[in-house]
């Protein structure tokens, strides 16, 4: 009995020491996911005109008020990685604003306070979080949600309470949960991923004129509308979609999907908005696909380089995410702030989109001259349709969407375009969205 106790105590001590040393060492470690140093070709076009960052007031003159923004993101469960990137970016935005003395809206100066709530990746969680933020915390604005079900749940609460809701994502642009005229207090300071379609197709037509046959890899989460839209854009350029495969959410092994797509002998494999486009590229190349690979996902080109590893596979890859190897000064500032605060975690390019969201909403409030009255704010936002009306980390943008969603409540801003050749990232430039 005594020897058992001694063994148990020793075992606990050994585990404790191991965990402690592992934790300490891991903190020093540079993870393989961090951005690699790449020697990139010079960009062919200049980046966007740089903006001054969030408009702040300097030291406040009088009473400083608080702008309370409630956020609802999955902070637990498989989607927590996205929630984490977004909430961190929002915290960094608040730090930037508050350290500069706050933001001037109308005659008042506001410090920004975020109240983060966990949606748990579910409609129920999102609804509970929204109720708490609206009824208990009395927030001025709610931002958040990754899933369409979460958006619908939040909107039900915010509309009833007359609080402005800015959705943080659009998996399926034009879905019933997206912005529309029947949701008068819902806006989207976030561009649709599929706006990259015409940009990528034009670039391919110019750079790879022989490439005509496209195979589509599509997550099975309701992308039918996006596929239809892409089909029309493809047809308009004399190209053709020769194969299309849907795969369920949670797929990790893409060899079966790519085996099937590759059988159609495409010139281009197009991975539609997916965080696993790198796995798809790896599988496609392993199966002998040598054509152009397009990823219009949030996945950065640097993530492809680090995770796919094989330079032979990392060729003729077109990416539409923020290129963290060629950041604008503002993005670089954000990246540096991230690295200073969370040195062990690689910068996630989603943070750039996220940082823009409260910034866009603050610009709308500044234009309206007040933080209250959600309906007035929406009306003001709907009027900011001229290029340059909105500043973002990607460059000057505007509010649009009426042609597609019936209301002008969606952020449009320049979209980055990069290409990977022989394992090296080439930044092509920031491209203006094309209306088609």
Partner 1 sequence: MSSLDLWLQATVNGIALGWLYVLMALGLTLILSIMGILQLAHGEIYMLGAYAVHYLVGRGLGLYPAIATSMFIMAVLGIILERGLFRPRSGREVVLCSIVISTGLTLILTSAIVVIFGLYTKSLPLLATGSVEIFGAAVPKDRILAIGFSVLALVLLYLFLKKTRLGLAMIASAQNREGSFLKGINPNRMSMAAMAIGCALAALAGALAGAILQLQPYMGALPMIKGLVIIVLGGLGSIPGALIGGLILGLIDGIVPVFFSPAVASVGPLVVVILVLLFRPKGLLGHD
Contact residues for partner 1, defined by CB under 8 A: 7-8, 11-12, 14-15, 19, 22-23, 25-26, 29-33, 78, 80-81, 84, 220, 246-248, 250-253, 255-257, 259-260, 262-263, 265, 279, 283, 286-288, 306-307, 309-310, 312-313, 344-346, 348
Q: Which residues contact 362 (CB under 8 A, 6 or more apart)?
A: 54, 55, 67, 97, 103, 105, 112
- Least distance from partner 1 to the Cβ atom of residue 29, Å: 5
- Least distance from partner 1 to the Cβ atom of residue 339, Å: 13
- Length of the chain, please? 436
Whether the CB-CB separation of 104 and 130 falls below 8 Å is answered with: no
Nearest CA to 381 among 400, 396, 395?
400
Whether the CB-CB separation of 334 and 84 falls below 8 Å is answered with: no
CB of 53 or CB of 83, closer to partner 1: 83
CB of 158 or CB of 321, closer to partner 1: 321
- Least distance from partner 1 to the Cβ atom of residue 292, Å: 18
Residue with tokens 């020093």: 28
- Least distance from partner 1 to the Cβ atom of residue 158, Å: 28
CB of 61 or CB of 312, closer to partner 1: 312
Whether the CB-CB separation of 47 and 327 falls below 8 Å is answered with: no
- Report phi then psi at 43, rounded to 5: -70, 145
Q: How many CB atoms lie within 10 A of CB 247?
A: 19
- Least distance from partner 1 to the Cβ atom of residue 310, Å: 4
Alpha-carbon span 410 to 426, nearest angstrom = 29
Alpha-carbon span 293 to 296, nearest angstrom = 10
Extract the tokens encoding 334: 């954000």
- Least distance from partner 1 to the Cβ atom of residue 113, Å: 25
Helices and strands counted in the chain (H then E): 13, 16
CB of 82 or CB of 381, closer to partner 1: 82
Whether the CB-CB separation of 267 and 212 falls below 8 Å is answered with: yes
CB of 182 or CB of 249, closer to partner 1: 249
- Least distance from partner 1 to the Cβ atom of residue 400, Å: 33
- Least distance from partner 1 to the Cβ atom of residue 279, Å: 7
Q: How many CB atoms lie within 10 A of CB 334?
A: 25
Q: Which residues contact 42 (CB under 8 A, 6 or more apart)?
A: none
- Least distance from partner 1 to the Cβ atom of residue 307, Å: 5
Alpha-carbon span 254 to 390, nearest angstrom = 39
Nearest CA to 121 among 161, 173, 84?
84
């Amino acid at each position: 009995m005594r020897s058992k106790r001694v063994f148990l105590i020793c075992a606990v001590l050994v585990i404790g020491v191991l965990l402690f040393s592992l934790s300490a060492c891991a903190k020093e470690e540079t993870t393989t996911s961090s951005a690699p140093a790449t020697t990139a070709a010079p960009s062919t076009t200049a980046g966007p005109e740089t903006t001054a960052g969030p408009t702040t007031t300097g030291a406040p003159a009088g009473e400083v008020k608080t702008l309370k923004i409630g956020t609802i993101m999955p902070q637990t469960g498989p989607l927590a990685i996205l929630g984490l990137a977004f909430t961190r970016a929002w915290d960094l935005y608040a730090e930037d604003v508050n350290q500069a003395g706050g933001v001037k809206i109308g005659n008042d100066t506001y410090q920004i306070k975020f109240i983060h709530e966990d949606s748990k990746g579910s409609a129920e969680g999102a609804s509970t979080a929204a109720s708490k933020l609206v009824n208990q915390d009395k927030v001025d604005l709610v931002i958040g949600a990754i899933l369409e079900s979460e958006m619908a749940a939040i909107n039900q609460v915010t509309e009833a309470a007359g609080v402005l809701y800015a959705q943080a994502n659009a998996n399926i642009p034009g879905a019933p949960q997206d912005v529309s005229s029947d949701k008068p207090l819902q806006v989207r300071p976030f561009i649709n991923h599929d706006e990259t379609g015409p940009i990528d197709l034009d670039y391919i037509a110019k750079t790879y004129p022989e490439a005509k046959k496209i195979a589509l890899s599509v997550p099975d989460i309701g992308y039918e509308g996006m596929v239809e839209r892409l089909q029309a854009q493809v047809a308009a350029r004399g190209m053709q979609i020769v194969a299309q495969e849907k795969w369920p959410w949670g797929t990790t092994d893409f060899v079966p999907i790519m085996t099937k797509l590759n059988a159609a002998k495409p010139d281009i494999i197009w991975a539609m908005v997916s965080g696993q486009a790198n796995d798809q590229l790896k599988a496609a190349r392993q199966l002998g696909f040598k054509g152009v690979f397009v990823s219009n996902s949030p996945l950065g080109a640097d993530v492809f380089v680090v995770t796919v590893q094989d330079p032979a596979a990392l060729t003729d890859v077109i990416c539409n995410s923020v290129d963290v190897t060629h950041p604008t000064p503002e993005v670089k500032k954000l990246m540096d702030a991230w690295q200073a605060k969370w040195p062990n975690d690689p910068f996630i390019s989603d943070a750039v989109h996220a940082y823009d969201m409260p910034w866009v909403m603050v610009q709308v409030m500044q234009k309206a001259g007040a933080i209250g009255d959600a309906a007035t704010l929406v009306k003001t936002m709907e009027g900011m349709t001229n290029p340059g009306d909105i500043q973002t980390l990607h460059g000057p943008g505007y509010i649009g969407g009426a042609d597609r969603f019936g209301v002008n409540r969606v952020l449009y801003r320049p979209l980055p375009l990069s290409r990977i050749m022989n394992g090296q990232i080439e930044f092509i430039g920031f491209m203006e969205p094309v209306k088609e």
